[in-house]
Amino acid sequence: MSPLQRLTGALLLGLTACAPARDAGPSDADVKRAVDSLIAVAMDAASKADAEGVLSIADPQFSIISGDVLLEGRDTAVAEFRKSYSLITSQHQDVEQSKLVRLGPDVALYMAVGEGTYTDKHGVVSDPVGLGLTVVFVREGGQWHARHAHQSHVQ
């Protein structure tokens, strides 16, 4: 190897060592733990018919599609959830299958299917309803938040 080749190699090695590290983001396991924790918060709040608690996992730009309704903004969604929850005392949901897909270092897609019931103000428990949920989670400032959700149910 010539002195010029050695010098060039040393310079490249030195430049590589000085280059800023690329942030690959959190590990898949870290993302799964963070998302599972947020889903648990939302499900616990839903069991108490607590609209604010359910949407505490959402950022201000949150949107949701449920049936043929599109709600834009967390505050709008909270107001509509309050109306729905005013008719019930609780919900019960069982997740039968879920999957988390990383779309990038700071974006993850959560999908779940399951079954749920609700209890109305008179104590009547509904028949089970099939549920489908897709949530886009975004990490900003080191925190994960729901940005968009799509919810469906089958009677």
DSSP the chain: --HHHHHHHHHHHHHHHHSPPP---S-HHHHHHHHHHHHHHHHHHHHTT-HHHHGGGEEEEEEEEETTEEEESHHHHHHHHHHHHTTEEEEEEEEEEEEEEEEETTEEEEEEEEEEEEEETTSPBPPPEEEEEEEEEEEETTEEEEEEEEEEEE-
Task: Tell me: pLDDT of 17 over 60.
Answer: no
What residue spans define the domains of the chain? 25-154
Q: What average pLDDT is seen over the chain? A: 87
Q: Which fold has domain 25-154?
A: Nuclear Transport Factor 2; Chain: A, (3.10.450)
Confidence of residue 154 (pLDDT cuts 50, 70, 90): confident
| pLDDT (tens digit per residue) in 18-41 | 444 445 568 999 999 999 999 999
Query: For the whole model, what pTM was predicted?
Result: 0.81
Confidence of residue 99 (pLDDT cuts 50, 70, 90): very high
Q: What is the pLDDT of residue 70?
A: 97
